[in-house]
Every structure is written in structure tokens, then in C-alpha cells.
């Protein structure tokens, strides 16, 4: 039984042109697969607006969050106004949009009423997950209007997570049970479930979210739990690129990548995919494709296990912001590492998975990255947290903290080909390198933010000239 999961991002569902593409893609693929499942993100920018609304509610700024709700309502209604929907479908959808936004307003109101108390994190996740619920209903209605059996499904009943609100991790076993009970019977009836990305709930039924960009993660978890043959991420760029095309115009699409390479890329800043989505797919060897919704004829990027054994080559360069800590002394690094880990956990709910450190008898250096799923403010919040905690450490006053950029070069067998390593270092001639770490398919270099653009360009030239 061939099963395909397709996830559509915020730009695909946020505009009529994107939705038209989505529809023709579904009409085409429904003939080719036995079971088809869709995962949708909120309309582009909607999650940011919802986060802002939750924030204003906590400050009891009633006018502020009401204004956001009004804008969101207008935006969603305008979108469906432009879609070719029948009167019945359209008015049912309008009622759904009003009901969801009304409930969300209610949640904001109660946060505002209790603003002197610590906000319940599940209330915030309930607010910021409304975008996906709105989008799923719009997409399902559009499918039904075109004689496809689309049904909107809230993943709160399906994706069961831990209770790290804002950055939760699904429990695959419990999720699989829910899927077998709720989703499999629908698929047998040839229904196309349109499932909300990004959201889940704890075993106790409290709403959670999977971190920024979490709809990819939803698609991957569903793929694993339903034994999908492939998972496709439809986005608004041509695939996974050699570097960020908005910064370097010569960036090109990478046709194939291994799971390990793509995981490193996502972890080290390529915002195209949620970093934690790769692990489950890799374990079950489910192929992943990243494709452009506006160019469905192009193949995009394929991630699978065959790519694990390909020839040595540099494939991509990416960058992510991090924090560096430096002290003019030697000695053990673990107290500072523990401090950083605690601060990070408090702010983002994740532990430090990657830390680049170096040490000599007279110098200590530690640098860490903040996962993109932790959201835009995480870096700043961690900095504030660390500033408070550093003085509690013996020798804490000796450490200085500064923003750092981690540039990561991804490639096949980067570790075994010294020529590749040498060429990277030569390309960075004249740029101060603060730290370095090597993985099997990656080399990360810590540089000052002011030299990052030049470093990326110079390494990218190597990437497109094949090392
Ligand atoms: N809408 C959510 C976000 O903006 C999830 C996603 O887009 O994948 O982070
Ligand atoms: Mg995304």
C-alpha cells in the first residue's frame, strides 16, 4: 500500500496562487498513491502574529491583541473570498474561522485577566497553534469543493508529546496508537486527511507546539507512524540549496543529500527544515523530498540512504548565530558547560547538543548554537539568563560573552579528505577563526559576525566549484 505525506508550508497556503498549486498537485498525486495525507502550516506570518498576541495578552494589552485578532480574521476571510468555493462551503468555513478566533480571543482574555500570575504555558501553546487549525480547514474545504474527500484534522488528538511547551517532542509509540485508531479508518475510506502541522498535546490532553517550523516535524512523525513510503515538503524555493539564496545569488539546488548531511544542515541554520524532523525518517529510511510548490515539474532535493555512500564532495555552507564565551585561563570547562546547558534548557526546553570548545593552558573558549526551532528571541533570552548566572560561577567574572557566527560546511566524507579541509581553510585566509569542530560530514568554524558574509561567499565558491 503506497503512502505519501505532503506538507505544505505557509507560503503555499497563504495565497490563492499557492493554494491553486496545492490543489493541482493533490489532484495529480491522488491518482498515484493508495493513501495520501496532507500536513499544513499556518498562513505565512500568522504564527508570528499569534505569538505577539499571546505576548500582549500576558501584558494585559487588550487593545493590542484584539487588533491582531481582527487583522487575522480579515486576512483569512479575504483569502477564502478569493477562492473558488460554493456558498455552503464558504459560509461553513467563515463560521469555523470565527469560532476558532473567538476561542482564541477568549484564551487571550483569560491571560490578560490573570496577568499578575505566571501564565499557563499550555494556554500560550493553545493560542499560537490556532494558525494551523485555520489553515487546515481552508485547505480541506478547497479539496471538497473539487470532489476530493478532504477532512481537516487537529493533530491535538494524534500527536502525543512530552510537556516541553513551545518546543515539545512527540512520543512515537503513543502517537502511532492514536493514528491507528483515528486516522487509519479514514484512509481506508479514501479520505484525504488535512492535518494541522506544529501542534500536539500531552498525554493529559494539554496543547503543545513542536517548536518554530514544527510542521515539518509533524510530517516526519506521521510518516514514521503510518509507515509512509515518502514524505514531501512543498516550499517556495527549488529545494535544499548550496547556501541561502537570499544572501548569495549563485546558490543552486542540491539534487541529493544523505540523512546525516541534511540533519547537520538543518541543525546548523538552514531554516528550510526543522532539525528534529530528520532523525525519525532516517531511522526508518523513509525518503524525503523538498520541492517548490510553484515548480512542481522540478524534482527538488531528494534525501535518502543511497546518498550516504556517495563520492567525497562539498555540498553546502550554512550559518547560524551563537554565543561565544572566552576566558584567559585554562582549567576544566564542565562548570561553564553545565551553566550554559541549564540556561539553554530554561529558555528553549532543549539541551545543548552542539558545543564547540577549545582550550589551552592559558585560554578557554566555548561556543554554542541555539536551534532555529527555539524561536527568534531565544538568543537574546539566553544571553540575559547567562549574564545573571555567570557571576555565580567561581571565576565567573573572567568569562566574556560575545555573539558569534558558526559557519558549517557540509559534504560527503569531509572528515577523510584532507584536500577538502585544506581548501576550506585556504579560502578563509585573512578571517579570524575563533574555534573549529569537525564531524563526519561537516566542518564548523566559529567566526566573528562581521566576517561571516565574506566567509560564506568564499566557501560557497568552493562548494559550487566542487571543492
Ligand atoms: N507555523 C509554525 C511556525 O511558523 C510552524 C511551521 O510553519 O512549520 O513556526
Ligand atoms: Mg518551515
Encode pLDDT of 151-170 as tens digits: 999 999 899 999 999 999 99
- Centre of ligand 1 from the C-alpha of residue 276, in Å: 14
How sure is the predictor about 352, in pLDDT bands with cuts at 50, 70 and 90? low
Which string of b and e fits 444-466 if b means at least 16 CB within 10 Å?
bbbbbeebbeebbebbbebbeee
Beta carbon of 131 within 6 Å of any ligand 1 atom: yes
pLDDT 10s digits, 391-405: 998 888 999 999 999
CA angle in degrees (0–180, nearest 5) for 421-304-372: 65
Beta carbon of 211 within 6 Å of any ligand 1 atom: no
Q: Which atom belonging to ligand 1 lies closest to the Cα atom of 42?
A: 1
Instruction: Please tell me what DSSP assigns to residue 119.
Output: P
Residue bearing the CA closest to ligand 1, atom 7: 213
Beta carbon of 129 within 6 Å of any ligand 1 atom: no
- Centre of ligand 2 from the C-alpha of residue 16, in Å: 19
Position 438 scores a pLDDT of: 87
Q: Is 365 helix (H, G, I), strand (E, B) or coil?
A: strand
Percent of the chain with pLDDT over 70: 98
- Segment among 13-27, 76-90, 374-388 with least mean pLDDT: 374-388
Mutual angle of helices 62-81 and 130-145, in 10-degree steps: 10
Position 395 scores a pLDDT of: 86
Q: Looking at the CA of 198, which ligand is closest?
A: 1
- Centre of ligand 1 from the C-alpha of residue 131, in Å: 9
Residue bearing the CA closest to ligand 1, atom 6: 213
Instruction: Report how far apart the first and last C-alpha atoms of the chain are (Å, whole number).
Output: 42
Q: Distance between CA atoms of 8 and 272, rounded to whole angstroms? A: 12
Identify the residue with better confidence: 266 or 8.
Answer: 8
Q: What is the mean pLDDT of residues 331-335?
A: 87
Residue of 47, 211, 376 with the most ligand 1 atoms within 8 Å of its CB, for mutation: 47
- Segment among 23-27, 71-75, 228-232, 308-312 with least mean pLDDT: 308-312
Which domains are seen in the chain, by residue range?
3-236 (3.40.1160.10), 315-464 (3.30.2130.10)
Q: Looking at the CA of 196, which ligand is closest?
A: 1
Position 375 scores a pLDDT of: 77
**Residue 211 CB contacts under 8 Å (≥ 6 apart), including other chains:** 166, 167, 168, 217, 274, 276, 371, 373, 374, 375
- Segment among 25-39, 226-240, 326-340, 345-359 with least mean pLDDT: 345-359
Identify the residue with better confidence: 116 or 281.
Answer: 281
State yes or no: pLDDT of 309 exceeds 90: no
Helix, strand, coil share of the chain (percent; to 5): 45, 20, 30
Residue of 214, 222, 236, 374 with the most ligand 1 atoms within 8 Å of its CB, for mutation: 214
**Closest by alpha carbon to 65, among 29, 35, 104, 92?**
104
Q: What is the mean pLDDT of residues 73-95?
A: 96
Q: Is 195 helix (H, G, I), strand (E, B) or coil?
A: strand
Position 405 scores a pLDDT of: 93
How sure is the predictor about 118, in pLDDT bands with cuts at 50, 70 and 90? confident
State yes or no: pLDDT of 452 exceeds 80: yes
Beta carbon of 161 within 6 Å of any ligand 1 atom: no
Position 268 scores a pLDDT of: 86
Position 353 scores a pLDDT of: 64
Tell me if 324 sits within 8 A of 366, measured CB to CB: yes
Work out the mean pLDDT of the chain and round it to a whole number. 93
- Segment among 73-87, 342-356, 358-372 with least mean pLDDT: 342-356
Q: Distance between CA atoms of 300 and 435, rounded to whole angstroms? A: 34
Alpha helices in 114-248 (DSSP H): 121-128, 130-145, 172-182, 184-188, 215-225
- Lookup: cell for 273: 527544515
Position 330 scores a pLDDT of: 86
Q: Which atom belonging to ligand 1 lies closest to the Cα atom of 198?
A: 5
Q: Which atom belonging to ligand 1 lies closest to the Cα atom of 210?
A: 5
Beta carbon of 214 within 6 Å of any ligand 1 atom: yes
Beta carbon of 42 within 6 Å of any ligand 1 atom: yes
State yes or no: pLDDT of 313 exceeds 70: yes
Beta carbon of 170 within 6 Å of any ligand 1 atom: no
Residue bearing the CA closest to ligand 1, atom 2: 213
pTM of the model: 0.91
Beta carbon of 269 within 6 Å of any ligand 1 atom: no
Q: Looking at the CA of 46, which ligand is closest?
A: 1
**Residue 251 CB contacts under 8 Å (≥ 6 apart), including other chains:** 241, 242, 243, 244, 245, 460
State yes or no: pLDDT of 411 exceeds 80: yes
State yes or no: pLDDT of 433 exceeds 90: yes
Beta carbon of 193 within 6 Å of any ligand 1 atom: no
Q: Looking at the CA of 211, which ligand is closest?
A: 1
Q: Looking at the CA of 214, which ligand is closest?
A: 1
- Centre of ligand 1 from the C-alpha of residue 179, in Å: 22
Percent of the chain with pLDDT over 90: 76
Q: Is 293 helix (H, G, I), strand (E, B) or coil?
A: coil
Position 153 scores a pLDDT of: 98
Amino acid at each position: 500500500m503506497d503512502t505519501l505525506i505532503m506538507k505544505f508550508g505557509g507560503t503555499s497556503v497563504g495565497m490563492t496562487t499557492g493554494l491553486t498549486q496545492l490543489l493541482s498537485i493533490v489532484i495529480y498525486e491522488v491518482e498515484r498513491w493508495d493513501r495520501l495525507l496532507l500536513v499544513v502550516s499556518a498562513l505565512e506570518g500568522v504564527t508570528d502574529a499569534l505569538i505577539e498576541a499571546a505576548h500582549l495578552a500576558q501584558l494585559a494589552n487588550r487593545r493590542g491583541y484584539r487588533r491582531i485578532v481582527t487583522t487575522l480574521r480579515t486576512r483569512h476571510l479575504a483569502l477564502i473570498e478569493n477562492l473558488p468555493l460554493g456558498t455552503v462551503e464558504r459560509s461553513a468555513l467563515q463560521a469555523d474561522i470565527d469560532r476558532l478566533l473567538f476561542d482564541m480571543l477568549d484564551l487571550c482574555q483569560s491571560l490578560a485577566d490573570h496577568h499578575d500570575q505566571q501564565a499557563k504555558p499550555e494556554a500560550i501553546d493553545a493560542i499560537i497553534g490556532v494558525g494551523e487549525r485555520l489553515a487546515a480547514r481552508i485547505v480541506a474545504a478547497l479539496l471538497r469543493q473539487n470532489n476530493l474527500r478532504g477532512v481537516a484534522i487537529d493533530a491535538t488528538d494524534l500527536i502525543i508529546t512530552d510537556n516541553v511547551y513551545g518546543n515539545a517532542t512527540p512520543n512515537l509509540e503513543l502517537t502511532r496508537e492514536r493514528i491507528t485508531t483515528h486516522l487509519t479508518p479514514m484512509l481506508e475510506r479514501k479520505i484525504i486527511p488535512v492535518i494541522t502541522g506544529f501542534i500536539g498535546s500531552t498525554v493529559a490532553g494539554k496543547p503543545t507546539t513542536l517548536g518554530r517550523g514544527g510542521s515539518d516535524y509533524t510530517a516526519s512523525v506521521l510518516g514514521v507512524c503510518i509507515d509512509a513510503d515518502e514524505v514531501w515538503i512543498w516550499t517556495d524555493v527549488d529545494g535544499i540549496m548550496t547556501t541561502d539564496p537570499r544572501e548569495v545569488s549563485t546558490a543552486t539546488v542540491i539534487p541529493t543529500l544523505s540523512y546525516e548531511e541534511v540533519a547537520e544542515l538543518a541543525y546548523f541554520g538552514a531554516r528550510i527544515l526543522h532539525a528534529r524532523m530528520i532523525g525519525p525518517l532516517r531511522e526508518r529510511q523513509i525518503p524525503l523530498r523538498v520541492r517548490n510548490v510553484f515548480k512542481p515539474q522540478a524534482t527538488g532535493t531528494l534525501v535518502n540512504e543511497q546518498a550516504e555512500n556517495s563520492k567525497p564532495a562539498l555540498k553546502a555552507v550554512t550559518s547560524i548565530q551563537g554565543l561565544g564565551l572566552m576566558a584567559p585561563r585554562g582549567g576544566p570547562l564542565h562548570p561553564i558547560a553545565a551553566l550554559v546547558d541549564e540556561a539553554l534548557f530554561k529558555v528553549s526546553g532543549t539541551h545543548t547538543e552542539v558545543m564547540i570548545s577549545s582550550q589551552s593552558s592559558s585560554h578557554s573558549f566555548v561556543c554554542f548554537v541555539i536551534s532555529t526551532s527555539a524561536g527568534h528571541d531565544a538568543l537574546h533570552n539566553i544571553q540575559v539568563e547567562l549574564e545573571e548566572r555567570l557571576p555565580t560561577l567561581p571565576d565567573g567574572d573572567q568569562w566574556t560573552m560575545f555573539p558569534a557566527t558558526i559557519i558549517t560546511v557540509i559534504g560527503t566524507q569531509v572528515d577523510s579528505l584532507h584536500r577538502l579541509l585544506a581548501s576550506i581553510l585556504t579560502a578563509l585566509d585573512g578571517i579570524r577563526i575563533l574555534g573549529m569542530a569537525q564531524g563526519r560530514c561537516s566542518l564548523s568554524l566559529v567566526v566573528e559576525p562581521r566576517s561571516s558574509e565574506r566567509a560564506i561567499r568564499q566557501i560557497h565558491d568552493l562548494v559550487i566549484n566542487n571543492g
